[in-house]
Amino acid sequence: MADYLKKIILNSIQKILGETFSIEIKLEKPKIKEHGDLSTNVALAIAKQLKKNPISIADQIVQKIEIEKSIIEKIEIEKPGFINFFFSKNFYHNELKNILSHGNDYGKNKFQNKTANVEFISANPTGPLTVGHGRNAVIGDTVANILEWNGYKVTREYYFNDAGRQMKILGESVRLRYLQIGGEKIIFPDDYYQGNYIIEIAEKLKSEFGENLKEEKIFKEKAETEIFSDIKKTCEKLNICFDIFFNEHKLYKEGKTDEIINEFKKNGSAFEKDGALWLSSNILKSEKDKVIVKSSGEPTYRLPDIAYHREKIRKNYDLIIDILGSDHIATYPDVLAGLCALGEKTNHIKVLIHQFVTILQNGEIVKMSTRKANFVTLDELIDEVGSDVVRYFFLMRSIGSHLNFDLTLAKTQSDENPVYYLQYAHARIASIIRFASEQGISLNKDADISVLDSESEINLIKLLTQFPILLQNISINFEIHLLCEYLHNVAGEFHKFYHENRVVTENENLTSARLLLCEATKTVLGNGLKILGISTPEKM
């Protein structure tokens, strides 16, 4: 529709200013409905170039426009020089039919045939997932869903490292607790993992192997498998499932990191100093050189990160997405620069940074640290308020906003959570359709919908038809909160329609038409909720 209009507008402009005149025409959906369905500011832009009165330019453009009356009802010129287009009801009635014919696939873009990799959470298995990880998890999974709806084949990936210093301390923490249980007097260091889950793992070891375990390796391994299994369970509760768990260790084993070191040395990107290997500031966009291999021989995170991303690039995904917390904001440019220095293309790597979640409990900020075990686990939260609420809460805000999560509020006021507003609309529609069928009225897709004429009916249809474009936009800008906002508006518009119009009445034509509008609304709400990973209740 927008493309069609653009062509016609440009045509008209060229009639006035000559065939060669060219300008980008932006069409926007105005905020208020008095300004029409689509609007353009070209007249303002041209007026600036030509230093003429924008209104008179707009006037000329409109006069030369040739348009089909069945699609555009009227065109208006407004104040500074906007040109506003009003679509016909007929156009929207056809759009409604379109929704109904696509059903559960409405909004899908099937023709892309591309692949994408979305990496998210990627927390090392040193403890249960925290509420902070929850935001990352839900964003990642939803981005993946959006891409799937836009025709991508998506791989969900979790990257972890079980060989670092943290993991060593984790193993030691378990071992000390194990010895403690066995009755030994142990001083448990402050900077070891304090959580109760460590003691539970130690107890499991004791009941499985008795009290005489010596082998250090087994403490760490047990901790890893236990914690990972918990992490997976937590993800399952949120309906999140990974295709690949990628262990950093694989990169060393297969020589991927050595390979990169050699290439860096060869092309002058890296140099040795003080017994360490440094990545030169020449290739980084920073002032300082950065260490990639410590003088101890161990690599810093930069090296395996570069190697890992190179592996992903080599799998030829059309799109590679990293979901990271804001603490990584300074590190990913180094990784990208490193990849460039290796001659890799990074245009298709998209890094989405989300701000942290601040947890408030009883009005106080809770500082979280896995080490100190003063975190609130994601698991607890899900058990408390449910998966739907957790997902919606993390998704409804733009990822760039620092969001405050008031636990006390979330727990006590869960009934007033906005997610129920959406689900209620869905359930309400289901109930209406149920009621109709009890009266012997079933959905008739061939019913005449031109009787849908009132403001609330047309407004609802208008909103529904925006769904596919919205999904397409989100697959490019990844502003997933816009989907939440949109669905909220759909629910609101539906409730308004419901209060102003009775669906099941004596009037058969009207009943059939309104039932179809209900069905279309249910379709859009249902599809949207599915993308958000939220359930679509038939009853509440």
Partner RNA sequence: GCCCUUGUAGUUCAAUUGGAUAGAACUGAAGUUUCCUAAACUUCCAAUACAAGUUCAAUUCUUGUCAAGGGUACCA
Footprint on residues 325-364 left by RNA (CB under 7 A): 326-331, 355-356, 358
User: In the bound complex, what is the minimum distance in angstroms from residue 89's beta carbon to RNA?
Assistant: 21
- Residue 515 CA to residue 96 CA, distance in Å, equals 12
Does 506 participate in binding RNA (rule CB under 7 A)? no
Q: State the angle between helix axes of 131-149 and 378-385 in degrees (0 to 180), rounded to the nearest 10.
A: 70
User: In the bound complex, what is the minimum distance in angstroms from residue 205's beta carbon to RNA?
Assistant: 25
Size of the site for RNA (CB under 7 A): 90
Does 49 participate in binding RNA (rule CB under 7 A)? no
- Residue 383 CA to residue 159 CA, distance in Å, equals 26
**C-beta contacts of 494-502 below 8 A and 24+ residues apart:** 494/425, 494/428, 494/429, 494/460, 494/521, 494/525, 495/425, 495/428, 496/456, 496/459, 496/460, 497/456, 497/457, 497/459, 497/460, 498/428, 500/454, 500/456, 501/454, 501/456, 501/457
Q: Tell me whether strands 27-28 and 72-78 are parallel, antiparallel or unpaired.
A: unpaired
- DSSP tag of 504: S
**Which residue, 151 or 386, has its beta carbon nearer to RNA?**
386
**Which residue, 147 or 291, has its beta carbon nearer to RNA?**
291
Q: Pick the binder of RNA from 5, 8, 13, 35 (CB under 7 A).
A: 35
Which residues inside 112-131 make contact with RNA, applying CB under 7 A? Answer: 124
Q: Pick the binder of RNA from 223, 342, 382, 427 (CB under 7 A).
A: 427
Stretch that binds RNA, among 62-70, 217-225, 249-257, 494-502 (CB under 7 A): 494-502
Using an 8 Å Cβ cutoff, are 30 and 86 in contact?
no
Which residues inside 228-287 make contact with RNA, applying CB under 7 A? Answer: 273-276
- Residue 425 CA to residue 521 CA, distance in Å, equals 9
**Which residue, 215 or 415, has its beta carbon nearer to RNA?**
415
User: In the bound complex, what is the minimum distance in angstroms from residue 20's beta carbon to RNA?
Assistant: 23
Using an 8 Å Cβ cutoff, are 397 and 443 in contact?
no
Stretch that binds RNA, among 37-45, 131-139, 214-222, 382-390 (CB under 7 A): 37-45
Does 298 participate in binding RNA (rule CB under 7 A)? yes
User: In the bound complex, what is the minimum distance in angstroms from residue 461's beta carbon to RNA?
Assistant: 17
Q: Taking the chain, what is the end-to-end CA distance rounded to the nearest angstrom?
A: 38
Does 80 participate in binding RNA (rule CB under 7 A)? yes
Q: Pick the binder of RNA from 225, 431, 442, 444 (CB under 7 A).
A: 431
Q: Pick the binder of RNA from 212, 296, 316, 347 (CB under 7 A).
A: 296
**Which residue, 178 or 514, has its beta carbon nearer to RNA?**
514
**Which residue, 154 or 407, has its beta carbon nearer to RNA?**
407
Q: Pick the binder of RNA from 53, 435, 445, 455 (CB under 7 A).
A: 435
- DSSP tag of 103: G
**Which residue, 60 or 122, has its beta carbon nearer to RNA?**
122
- Residue 236 CA to residue 74 CA, distance in Å, equals 52
User: What does the block give as tokens for 335?
Assistant: 């990784």
Q: Pick the binder of RNA from 118, 131, 376, 396 (CB under 7 A).
A: 396
Does 536 participate in binding RNA (rule CB under 7 A)? no
Does 495 participate in binding RNA (rule CB under 7 A)? yes
**Which residue, 162 or 178, has its beta carbon nearer to RNA?**
162
Q: State the angle between helix axes of 196-209 and 165-181 in degrees (0 to 180), rounded to the nearest 10.
A: 60
Stretch that binds RNA, among 188-196, 232-240, 420-428, 446-454 (CB under 7 A): 420-428
- Residue 495 CA to residue 490 CA, distance in Å, equals 9
Instruction: Count the neighbouring beta carbons within 10 Å of the beta carbon of residue 303.
Output: 26
- Give strand pairing partners of 130: 377
Stretch that binds RNA, among 263-271, 309-317, 371-379, 396-404 (CB under 7 A): 396-404
x-marked contacts with RNA along 172-211 as a string, rule CB under 7 A: ----------------------------------------
- Residue 265 CA to residue 331 CA, distance in Å, equals 21
Which residues inside 135-154 make contact with RNA, applying CB under 7 A? Answer: none
- Residue 316 CA to residue 319 CA, distance in Å, equals 9
Q: Pick the binder of RNA from 57, 82, 142, 157 (CB under 7 A).
A: 82
Identify the helix (H) or strand (E) that includes residue 174. Answer: helix 165-181
Using an 8 Å Cβ cutoff, are 376 and 199 in contact?
no
Does 212 participate in binding RNA (rule CB under 7 A)? no
Q: Pick the binder of RNA from 258, 496, 526, 536 (CB under 7 A).
A: 496
Using an 8 Å Cβ cutoff, are 302 and 279 in contact?
yes
Q: Pick the binder of RNA from 14, 88, 115, 166 (CB under 7 A).
A: 166
**Which residue, 11 or 295, has its beta carbon nearer to RNA?**
295
Q: Pick the binder of RNA from 247, 300, 346, 361 (CB under 7 A).
A: 300
Using an 8 Å Cβ cutoff, are 25 and 6 in contact?
yes
